[in-house]
Structure 1
Amino acid sequence: MTPQFIAPNLVVLPSSTVPRCFIAIVLFLAAGLGLENAAYGSDPFEAFLEKHCVRCHGPENEEGDVRIHQLSRDFKSGLDSHHWAEALEKVNSGEMPPAGEPQPTQEEISAFVANLDARLKEGRAARMAARPPVSHYRLSRKEYQNTVYDLLGVRYDPTKPGELNEDTLWHGFERIGSELSLSPSHIDRYYRAAELILDRAFPATSSEPRKVHKTAAELRYGGGKAQQEALDRFGIKRPLRYLLFPGNVQNALSPNWFGRTGPEHSGLYKFRIQASGVRPTGGQPAHLSIGKRTGEETVDGLIEFDITAPEDSPQVYEFEVFLEMPTSLHFCVVATDVVDRRAGAAFRNALSSRGGYIFTHSSETLLLNPNAPQMFDDKGNGIFSTVLLDWIEWEGPLVTESEKSRRNDLVPPDDAAPEVVAAHLQRFAERAWRRPVKTEELEAYLQAYHFEREAGEKTADAFRVAMVGVLTSRHFIYLVEGDPVARERLNDWELASRLSYFLWSSMPDDTLFTAAQAGSLNGEGLKQEVDRMLTDDKIHRLVDDFARQWLQLHRVGMFPPDKKLYPVYDAWLETSMRSEPIEYFREMFAKNLPIDSFIDSDWTMANARLCDFYGLPEPKSDGFQRVALKPEDHRGGLLTMGAVLGLTSDGTRHRPVHRGVWVSESIFNKPPPPPPANVDAIEPNPPKSPKATLRQKIEAHRNDANCAACHARIDPLGLAWDNYDAIGQWRTHEKVAAGLGEDPLVDPSGVLPDGRSFEDSVQFKQLLLEDRDQISRAFIEHLCTYALRRVLTVDDREEVAAIEAEAKKHDYRVKDVIRAVALSNLIRKR
């Protein structure tokens, strides 16, 4: 019998094909359909409940702790709407009613579903009509940083200690409006931030960029005159080189190199270095970290990169970094534990003494005397990773013409008339507030300006007071949507901001402002703008910010792995792991690949450190590259990345349940309920008991009735990855510290709640791919949550379904999915 379509997106199956759980779900969720204590049978909907539900879930019986007569039937409140929407899904998918119970007829099911669908829509309409007229969404710290830069061309780091308060996260998302409150201390910090930003935009004294160039001879040998004389005696023509080696922090930028410095010299600096690397046979390339010194052998890295150039072919490496001046920076060469084995204080002192050791090249055997610290074997191969520095160069502060242009004509001239001052402030406020601004909205700021002028301040200084007011207004700090009178859709100015903060994490540019002013953000005009925005370089902000928040990458390194258990784990590996999913997302966006690759692929994005960790061929160039995978590599897709496997671990062991929760949340967008209170922790293996896997210990939780149902849904999603330890290394046996016998074999098999079984992670990923539509819908829901800055509700289901249908036409390709969200009705609605 052919399924009958009753309402949009709803299909009623013949009663003979509908399986068991219909009644139970309907009874449990029937709360929201009418008045309390309504007479059953007073309408067809109540008649259906009385005929098929009350016998098990009425006053005389209570299955599943549900009594229909005690459940609210107020649909406008929406308290149970999400449950009813789930019930509709169950009916639509043919999972109801249960076998062994009297079956409703096709006509009864059709009438019930149509009635339920109508009540859901009526409730949604009532809730939409009752919305507040104005909504406020505070900018996250990252969005504030980007907006300040795009508005004034000023670089400002709100994450520094003492700057803006940390954003409250909701399942990894840092821009959910309901979570971003504004405390009194926060307001004070916004005022200080505005003052600092204007200091940098309009400094009291100008600072021309300066360049400082230091050779190895200047850095290491005090000019190298005596060392050069020795080289001349040996007839060695190579220049002196500065050895940067593990276990020692060495100078990279002294505060006095640029002369007298102060806050006005903070800014963007360009760093260049010509260097090569000595790499031990079979070892890692030298990794150079440049930052502020934090210890004898550590720095807080601002710049991180591998030195892969061989000593015969040094390479120039170049980076840009924002520096708060005055500052001092140091080099630190990161390598695995060779420092403890081969260096030590005596070794470091010998290499660090200015006249104690001359180095140009490892092949200069005359310089490699047996009494010198041994860095090379008898064949000239490096014993540990070392950087050979030829010269370094710092240049700054740098200001681009584009940055300067954003400040042009912002401040009125000294002799400006009041109306000219008002016009300047209005133009600035319209860009800062991202909408047309009426003159009367600026009265308080203009009064502050005139008060400062009457007190004897210069025009620029007085105008700055008004600018501080604009930058600390709710219209700048918040995205403000709405009018005193409620309306359903955004106007063009609000839509422009919603689009720009979705795709660029910042304010609209001039082109988008112009489109909003012209009222052309609809139809083809909207499509043209979205397509333009998707190709702008600022789209990388979406790649960086959405991937980081969606995948909850803030948790990487939250529990540092135990160095004794995982000696290969270091700071550079952690940084590389955190970057891998983002670079992977960037590649998928750039190539517009289907979302299937999130689940499985025969490639990944890796740098030299990750390739060494995963056992992959090393990339041919520096940084992240696309690397091909083979089945024996046991990688592919997000779920086998070190970051994902590590963020769900506790630093000592993997946690299958936490991995399952992450998969449920991030891949299926189904956050499980929190665990019951006072759940017993999993204890270490007793010394005199046979060694048991973590999986075997988790099985005990299934014996608890309070835990069994959730564990049945969550555990298989996490146990599939048991071949990977706490930092994501592949293994076949689980290492158990205490207990009797050998380390037990890993068992990654499982059974999904729907009965499908798998033997390992490879089969599990294939089952996930069979759920492609469900995973695509979850990805779209995450994107919509990010774009709308709020949690989705049942009222969004139809719009999300429309986005899903549009994305499916394009094979769920990532860029097309993002485009479908940006062009959707959901984005245009308040």
Structure 2
Amino acid sequence: MLVRTLMIFAACLGFGSAVSAAEPFEAFLEKHCLRCHGPQKEEGDIRLDRLSRDFKSGAHTHHWAEALDKINSGEMPPKKEPQPTQAEISEFVTSLDARLKEGRAARMAARPAVAHYRLSRKEYQNTVYDLLGVRYDPTKPGELNEDTLWHGFERIGSELSLSPSHVDRYYRAAGLVLDRAFPVTSGDARKIRKTAAELRYNGGKNQQETLDRFGIKRPLRYLLYPGSVHNALSANWFGKVGPEHSGLYKVRIQASGIRPIGGQTAHLSIGKRTGEETVDGLIEFDITAPEDSPQVHEFEVFLEMPMSLDFCVVSTDVVDRRAGAAFRNALNGNSYIFTHSSETRLLTPNAPQMFDGKGNGLFSTVLLDWIEWAGPLETDAEKSRRNGLLPPDDPTIEVVAEHLHRFAERAWRRPVKKDELSDYLQAYRSERDAGEKPADAYRVAMQGVLTSRHFIYLVEGDPVARERLNDAELASRLSYFLWSSMPDDGLFAAARSGALQGEGLKKEVDRLLADGKTNRFINDFVRQWLQLHRLGMFPPDKKLYPTYDAWLETSLRVEPVEFFREMFAKNMPVDSFIDSDWTMANARLCDFYGLLEPKTGGFQRVALKPEDHRGGLLTMGAVLGLTSDGTRHRPVHRGVWLSEAIFNKTPPPPPANVDPIEPIPPTGTKITIRQRIETHAKNASCAACHRNIDPLGLAFDQYDAVGQWRTRELVPTGVGENPVVDASGVMPDGRSFKDSVQFKQLLIQDRAQIARAFIEHLCTYALRRVLTVDDQDDLKLIEAEAKKNQYRVKDIIRAVAMSDLLRKR
């Protein structure tokens, strides 16, 4: 007995011969695991006999860690199989845990000295703005290459390579940024105001005479109807403009809307014309103000000048096109004068009918009073970022070196040694020797700094391997986590003074979280975490979903982001991710969900009742729609998404050449997708995975492909009535539910798991890499800290930012 105990103890410490240490370990696998995960059977696409026992290499440590977790929790072996004793479980778990820790220590010691993490396009955009006060859009065609995604995340270092095409585009981007930062000619901000009379009636002199004759005191207004495209900004309104006038513009619009009874809220889109009746919207908003109380809407938008923009009223309300071109021509003709829906005296008998006898609109229309453009705008704060960056005229090389050194330290986000800039100074000398002016020669050196790996990448480490970040690297990691951009002066100063420790670190993290730049984090993290890029990948079939349009899709995509922003601002617990009695919605979403619409435009908090069938992320149209194929919902895909986003568990891929779900023949009986999946899942090679995935998706079968509630499933083929939807199921652990409401309550009971998964997603985002078994101890510490604060969202984010894990390379 003593010998056996010593052998186990030696195995735990990683000592002893390979044979003696392996005997109890392999014996447990042989007795309790290989029956289902061995040569005779391969459930879940895992064969434990083929997993590497070389824990130092880390080849299969994630599989071993998963096995450890399942055995510890009692999930494995399955209840129907012979169960090991507690002593056997304890001995195996202790041995496997020791092997994992030994391997972890070996891998940590063998890490590369330097790690590089390329900035995403969004981070590059934010960084050049915070560095130089310059706006630049890297997503435009011909600009920076699209970021490679890993499970929705666009900032994973191993995925963001640098190809020759990238390098060329970075050089062009740096040149464009510097042109805007230091233009040859300055463009003063100007303001242009156009009234409805100027836009619609060429000044309105003749129309005003008509109004005077009738004694009508109301001003002329521009009536915009669905599908019509009209001029909103002409390139010549500001006079002769060129690229140097590109920048931020403010637009103010006074408008009101007319909504048909039972129809949609008026919606206006301003953008580039893409077709006879469509524009690619740069600005989009709902207009809820009635025509007697027009509202002023104000937006800021970045414009690449010269620019022409158009208005377009967007609506899925059916517009009577029986008159075809005559309809549009009559409305757009000079004889059609509009001031108010009640002024029927202005209407000619042959004019298209836009209102009923009581003045109610027949279509969703916009009444425009005036539009005002002002720009390019530049704040004092933006200008101040460029103060002192350029050396004086005809400087000495020492002065140039001093200025370039200051610029490089900010651009590279760390202390810079003088000899690191020798090549850039040599480029300056070469340009001067070739006859270039000092300013142009210095611009070449600055462009070199902006195309260096130290700017394009977050560089962590140096030739001597070390375990932890230095203060400058930590400052960048924090700022790119919470601001998606470079550190500000305060964070730079804290890093230089060594204040990023203890209370100093807490003070800086709290300051970062309180800053408005955390909106960048909210926008970027939620979009990536929930994989919102998938929404619209399969456009919904217009015949099946006629009310689905681009504005609805945009609104659906914004809802979870605004929901998270509200949770962050109120520091709410993670439970609300699963269920809530409120959501964030605009008029278009309220119409789509059947909710009481807000009285003003934009997103705001809306109360929910049980009969609304909403609450939390899982019943949002965006989440339900991104897992659909445009014609039908896909429960399996919904289950996979929920497993990944909510539990951070990626199910194994389906076996090769698996048979697809059979369609219903024309003469077959209509059955639900659920019934077809259950038949499919009886296949032995599919059953194990479907058992864990299907319940997560089937719980939401009462929502169709675009996320609308239904009680019967629309089955396009087959005979008989459309079948009643069944959203009941059994969780993998045996708990049952009858619908999505009960399912969500079961998930809330697992709030610790949900909080743990949320922490893991945050850490993946912050660390810019895939988490491994090596991170588990640090994750547990973060989880314990989050639990102290009832798993509140902002407190969890703070715990991640303050964690020891974030200090490790």
TM exceeding 0.5: yes
Correspondence for 1:46: 23
Amino acid at match of 1:688: T
Correspondence for 2:804: 825
Q: How does 1:267-286 map to 2 (within 5 A)?
A: 267-286=247-266
Displacement of 1:261 in angstroms is 1.1
Query: What is the CA–CA distance in structure 2 between the aligned matches of 1:105 and 1:676, rounded to whole Å?
Result: 34
Instruction: Say if 1:577 and 1:69 are closer, same or farther in 2 by CA, change over 3 A.
Output: closer
Structure 1 position 704 matched with structure 2 position 704: no
Correspondence for 1:16: none
What do the CA deviations read for 1:67-104 (whole angstroms, capped 9, x no partner)?
A: 98876432211223223323332343345667899987
Alignment partner of 1:162 out of 142, 146, 150: 142
Correspondence for 2:417: 438
Q: How does 1:528-547 map to 2 (within 5 A)?
A: 528-547=507-526
Correspondence for 1:73: 53
Paired residues in the alignment total 794
Indicate if the aligned counterparts of 2:727 and 2:739 stay in contact, CA closer than 8 A.
yes
Correspondence for 2:771: 792
Correspondence for 1:775: 754
Query: What is the CA–CA distance in structure 1 between the aligned matches of 2:605 and 2:659, rounded to whole Å?
Result: 44
Amino acid at match of 2:104: R
Correspondence for 1:25: none
Amino acid at match of 2:395: A
SS in 2 for 1:287: strand
Query: What is the CA–CA distance in structure 2 between the aligned matches of 1:94 and 1:721, rounded to whole Å?
Result: 28
Alignment partner of 2:73 out of 89, 93, 96: 93
TM-score of the two chains, using structure 2 as the length reference: 0.95
Identity among equivalent pairs (%): 78
Correspondence for 1:812: 791
Displacement of 1:702 in angstroms is 1.3
**Runs (5+) with no aligned partner, structure 2:** 6-10
Displacement of 1:54 in angstroms is 6.2
Instruction: Say if 1:95 and 1:281 are closer, same or farther in 2 by CA, change over 3 A.
Output: closer
Correspondence for 1:26: none
SS in 2 for 1:294: strand
Mean alpha-carbon deviation: is it higher for 134-143 or for 280-289?
Answer: 280-289
Indicate if the aligned counterparts of 1:34 and 1:73 stay in contact, CA closer than 8 A.
no
Instruction: Say if 1:785 and 1:364 are closer, same or farther in 2 by CA, change over 3 A.
Output: same
Query: What is the CA–CA distance in structure 2 between the aligned matches of 1:213 and 1:96, rounded to whole Å?
Result: 71
What do the CA deviations read for 1:279-328 (whole angstroms, capped 9, x no partner)?
A: 11222221000000000110000000011111111111111100001110
Amino acid at match of 1:236: I
Correspondence for 2:693: 714
Alignment partner of 1:150 out of 110, 123, 130: 130
Q: How does 1:66-215 map to 2 (within 5 A)?
A: 72-95=52-75, 109-215=89-195
TM-score of the two chains, using structure 1 as the length reference: 0.93
Instruction: Say if 1:211 and 1:99 are closer, same or farther in 2 by CA, change over 3 A.
Output: closer
Correspondence for 2:8: none
Correspondence for 1:14: none
Amino acid at match of 1:605: M
Query: What is the CA–CA distance in structure 2 between the aligned matches of 1:805 and 1:230, rounded to whole Å?
Result: 75
Correspondence for 1:465: 444
Instruction: Say if 1:424 and 1:53 are closer, same or farther in 2 by CA, change over 3 A.
Output: same
Instruction: Say if 1:783 and 1:342 are closer, same or farther in 2 by CA, change over 3 A.
Output: farther
Query: What is the CA–CA distance in structure 2 between the aligned matches of 1:344 and 1:421, rounded to whole Å?
Result: 67
Q: How does 1:80-479 map to 2 (within 5 A)?
A: 80-95=60-75, 109-341=89-321, 344-353=324-333, 355-479=334-458
Instruction: Say if 1:202 and 1:98 are closer, same or farther in 2 by CA, change over 3 A.
Output: closer
Query: What is the CA–CA distance in structure 2 between the aligned matches of 1:181 and 1:445, rounded to whole Å?
Result: 24
Indicate if the aligned counterparts of 2:427 and 2:444 stay in contact, CA closer than 8 A.
yes
Structure 1 position 512 matched with structure 2 position 491: yes
Query: What is the CA–CA distance in structure 2 between the aligned matches of 1:278 and 1:585, rounded to whole Å?
Result: 32
Amino acid at match of 1:515: A
SS in 2 for 1:409: coil
Displacement of 1:107 in angstroms is 5.6
Indicate if the aligned counterparts of 2:321 and 2:327 stay in contact, CA closer than 8 A.
no
Mean alpha-carbon deviation: is it higher for 588-597 or for 365-374?
Answer: 365-374
Indicate if the aligned counterparts of 2:134 and 2:177 stay in contact, CA closer than 8 A.
yes
Instruction: Say if 1:700 and 1:364 are closer, same or farther in 2 by CA, change over 3 A.
Output: same
Instruction: Say if 1:67 and 1:337 are closer, same or farther in 2 by CA, change over 3 A.
Output: closer
Indicate if the aligned counterparts of 2:132 and 2:382 stay in contact, CA closer than 8 A.
yes
Query: What is the CA–CA distance in structure 1 between the aligned matches of 2:557 and 2:623, rounded to whole Å?
Result: 9
Displacement of 1:371 in angstroms is 2.5
Displacement of 1:703 in angstroms is 2.2
Query: What is the CA–CA distance in structure 2 between the aligned matches of 1:106 and 1:771, rounded to whole Å?
Result: 25
Mean alpha-carbon deviation: is it higher for 819-828 or for 682-691?
Answer: 682-691
SS in 2 for 1:53: helix
What do the CA deviations read for 1:475-524 (whole angstroms, capped 9, x no partner)?
A: 00000000101000000000000000000000000000000000110100
User: Which structure has more RCO (C-alpha within 8 Å, separation ≥ 6)?
Assistant: 2
Structure 1 position 660 matched with structure 2 position 639: yes
Q: How does 1:28-67 map to 2 (within 5 A)?
A: 40=19, 42-43=20-21, 46-47=23-24, 49-50=26-27, 53=30, 62=39, 64=41
Displacement of 1:340 in angstroms is 4.6
Structure 1 position 557 matched with structure 2 position 536: yes
Query: What is the CA–CA distance in structure 1 between the aligned matches of 2:28 and 2:269, rounded to whole Å?
Result: 72
SS in 2 for 1:338: coil
Instruction: Say if 1:250 and 1:67 are closer, same or farther in 2 by CA, change over 3 A.
Output: closer
SS in 1 for 2:326: helix
What do the CA deviations read for 1:192-215 (whole angstroms, capped 9, x no partner)?
A: 000000000001111101111111
Query: What is the CA–CA distance in structure 1 between the aligned matches of 2:79 and 2:337, rounded to whole Å?
Result: 87
Indicate if the aligned counterparts of 2:288 and 2:599 stay in contact, CA closer than 8 A.
no
SS in 2 for 1:640: coil
Displacement of 1:57 in angstroms is 5.2
Query: What is the CA–CA distance in structure 1 between the aligned matches of 2:662 and 2:524, rounded to whole Å?
Result: 38
What do the CA deviations read for 1:699-736 (whole angstroms, capped 9, x no partner)?
A: 12212221111111111111111100000110000011
Indicate if the aligned counterparts of 1:603 and 1:627 stay in contact, CA closer than 8 A.
yes
Query: What is the CA–CA distance in structure 2 between the aligned matches of 1:171 and 1:266, rounded to whole Å?
Result: 35
Indicate if the aligned counterparts of 1:721 and 1:761 stay in contact, CA closer than 8 A.
yes
Instruction: Say if 1:481 and 1:272 are closer, same or farther in 2 by CA, change over 3 A.
Output: same
What do the CA deviations read for 1:530-585 (whole angstroms, capped 9, x no partner)?
A: 00000000000111000000000001111110111000101110000000000000
Amino acid at match of 1:818: I
Instruction: Say if 1:551 and 1:108 are closer, same or farther in 2 by CA, change over 3 A.
Output: closer
Amino acid at match of 1:396: G
Correspondence for 1:23: none
Amino acid at match of 2:329: N
Displacement of 1:387 in angstroms is 1.0
SS in 1 for 2:618: helix
Displacement of 1:47 in angstroms is 3.7
Instruction: Say if 1:418 and 1:356 are closer, same or farther in 2 by CA, change over 3 A.
Output: same
Query: What is the CA–CA distance in structure 1 between the aligned matches of 2:477 and 2:32, rounded to whole Å?
Result: 50
Query: What is the CA–CA distance in structure 2 between the aligned matches of 1:286 and 1:583, rounded to whole Å?
Result: 22
Structure 1 position 691 matched with structure 2 position 678: no
